[in-house]
Amino acid sequence: MKIFWAIVTLVFGALFIWSGIAKLKDPMTFADAVRNFRIVGDPIAPAVALFLPWLEVFAGIALMSGKFAKGGAFILLASMVFFTAAIGISWIRGLDITCGCFGDNEIVNYPVKMTQNVILLAVGFAIWWRLEMSGEAEPRPAVASEA
């Protein structure tokens, strides 16, 4: 089971690293995607477009490396909650948006995107919960040697 969770964790972290890098390649297009949600406007949308990809990359690296894995998992899970809520709000409002999730510029198919996000939420929660309950990725206390 440990190998299974190691693979799931690596793939989950890599997915967010890939997503963050794709957004970093074209921050202007991602800023437009953020604006299209009509949740935040300027100057917040461009700031989000510059900050969010780096957060995804660093949280993905933290999760994959095992160093600060709990924090990385929590940040990615919280991001997925936020992304899913933003997409759901846009769907309810009837907006035709491009989510820019992977640097793409295609109109969102809401049922497909929500299904993907719910699956990613479940995986992210399972990873975070497993790390939280197992005590993995905890710094080990240094043992002082007696001199």
Q: What is the mean pLDDT of residues 47-59?
A: 96
In this prediction, residue 136 carries a pLDDT of: 53
Do 38 and 93 form a contact (C-beta atoms < 8 A)?
yes
Q: How far apart are CA 4 and CA 118, in angstroms?
A: 20
Question: Taking all residues of the chain, what is their mean pLDDT, rounded to a whole number?
Answer: 89
pLDDT tens string 60-95? 999 999 889 999 999 999 999 999 999 999 999 999
In this prediction, residue 75 carries a pLDDT of: 97
Percentage of residues in the chain having pLDDT higher than 70: 91
In this prediction, residue 116 carries a pLDDT of: 95
